Structure 1
Amino acid sequence: MKLEDTAIAGVKILTPARFSDERGFFSESWNRARLAAAGIGIDFVQDNHSLSRRKGTVRGLHFQAPPHAQAKLVRCGRGALRDVAVDIRRGSPTYGRWVAAELSAENGRQMLIPEGCAHGFVTLSDDTEIIYKCSDYYAPECDRALQFDDPEIGIDWGVTRDEALLSDKDAAAPALRDLGSPFTWEGAA
């Protein structure tokens, strides 16, 4: 597996090796022992899978507050998406900054998002499936959102608010300056 650092500490791009033949391919998307040897010792406890029917669907930016903060390992099972992580750890040298990567069924890339980062994506094709692991269980009382198109963050989604298909929760999410982030920077993840 190829691991790449990004401009935000703890956010990594993982590209598993694919073994292909006339039948298709095989890929090991997660191996706890191998990734622990590479310094990634996250204990994932829940897998999620969602389908977005329409290109231009935006989901996020989401996170869970402590005590149920979640790290996520995100991949695309079908279609393509632009995956985004925003650092919301107060005091971080990259607070309020974002990184993005295209994840697709074709390229097999994955994004690792640590606790303290908000996560979201926009679909680049119809019928896009996202599959992701979480390091803590879903806790509705800790579920939070951040405004996806906050101009102070300046994420290039490739769609405007008027074009994006959004949930009511995401449409009403607060801007970063109004968030009151529950996370504090504690050094490199």
Structure 2
Amino acid sequence: MSRTPLHGLIAVQRTRIEDERGSFSRFFCATELSDVGFDEPVAQINHTVTRRSGSVRGLHFQYPPYAEVKLVSCVRGKVWDVAVDIRRDSPTFMSWHAELLTAENACSLLIPKGFAHGFQALTPDAELIYLHSAAYEPGAEGALNVRDPRLAIDWPLPFADLSERDARHPMVDDGFLGIEL
């Protein structure tokens, strides 16, 4: 596990054991991950397949008390996985960090409460598995716009697809105070 420049955001490197049959890696270990912030039970597991490279999803979060910890892993293809710190009192408020997640590099991103999350598919049919500490609550959903110039996220590819819903997410203005955990 390696810490990123944003407090609490952790890149988790899974160890792959390979032999003539294939490979094995531990996807989730409550004991190991509780030491770095995933200290609640897994409440929901989501799976996405993004068909076109260049497609972007996000930047989603849930307001407290439904804020969630996420463990995001790529099981096929490659994605540029982005987390934005929206914790009101954080020294890195409104800063972002990205990790390359691939099926081959066995890297996951542990995203703490108080972060918005999104990604860009870098290959066709990119497939992600998300483990969440809280179930999705529609009334608690929040989002930032992936094209927001205040965030200035360095997306590696031109946008190929962006849902109408994600395109309508608000830009950050001076009234956005983030979330208080």
Task: Report the TM-score range of the alignment, normalised by the length of the smaller protein.
Answer: over 0.9
Decide whether aligned partners of structure 1 residues 66 and 99 sit closer, same or farther in structure 2, where only a CA change above 3 A counts: same
Partner of 2:167: 171
Whether 1:127 aligns to 2:125 is yes
- Identity among equivalent positions (%) equals 44
Q: State which of 96, 104, 118 in structure 1 corresponds to 2:116.
A: 118
Alpha-carbon deviation of 1:43?
2.4
In structure 2, distance between residues paired with 1:147 and 1:39:
26
Q: Which amino acid aligns with 2:146?
A: F
Tell me if the contact between 2:69 and 2:133 (Cα under 8 Å) persists in the aligned partners.
yes
Q: What SS is found at the alignment partner of 1:14?
A: strand
Partner of 1:58: 56
Task: Tell me the TM-score normalized by structure 1.
Answer: 0.90
In structure 1, distance between residues paired with 2:134 and 2:149:
30
Decide whether aligned partners of structure 1 residues 102 and 135 sit closer, same or farther in structure 2, where only a CA change above 3 A counts: same
Alpha-carbon deviation of 1:177?
2.0
In structure 1, distance between residues paired with 2:39 and 2:167:
34
Tell me if the contact between 1:75 and 1:132 (Cα under 8 Å) persists in the aligned partners.
yes
Decide whether aligned partners of structure 1 residues 144 and 178 sit closer, same or farther in structure 2, where only a CA change above 3 A counts: farther
Decide whether aligned partners of structure 1 residues 170 and 5 sit closer, same or farther in structure 2, where only a CA change above 3 A counts: same
Gaps of 5+ in 2: none
- Deviation per CA, 1:36-86: give whole Å up to 9, x if none: 355642322110001001001100000011121111000001000000000
Q: What SS is found at the alignment partner of 2:173?
A: helix
Partner of 1:148: 146
User: What's the C-alpha RMSD, in Å, of the aligned pairs?
Assistant: 1.6
| Map 1:25-174 → 2, pairs under 5 A | 25-37=23-35, 40-160=38-158, 163-174=159-170
Decide whether aligned partners of structure 1 residues 69 and 37 sit closer, same or farther in structure 2, where only a CA change above 3 A counts: closer
In structure 2, distance between residues paired with 1:74 and 1:22:
28
Alpha-carbon deviation of 1:181?
4.5
Decide whether aligned partners of structure 1 residues 37 and 112 sit closer, same or farther in structure 2, where only a CA change above 3 A counts: closer
Tell me if the contact between 1:65 and 1:182 (Cα under 8 Å) persists in the aligned partners.
no
In structure 2, distance between residues paired with 1:109 and 1:179:
35
In structure 2, distance between residues paired with 1:4 and 1:106:
18
Decide whether aligned partners of structure 1 residues 179 and 83 sit closer, same or farther in structure 2, where only a CA change above 3 A counts: farther
Q: Which amino acid aligns with 1:73?
A: L
In structure 2, distance between residues paired with 1:56 and 1:73:
22
Q: Which amino acid aligns with 1:143?
A: E
Deviation larger for 36-45 or 129-138: 36-45
Tell me if the contact between 1:74 and 1:132 (Cα under 8 Å) persists in the aligned partners.
yes
Decide whether aligned partners of structure 1 residues 179 and 54 sit closer, same or farther in structure 2, where only a CA change above 3 A counts: farther
Q: Which amino acid aligns with 1:167?
A: S
Gaps of 5+ in 1: none
In structure 1, distance between residues paired with 2:33 and 2:85:
23
In the alignment of these two chains, the number of paired residues is 181
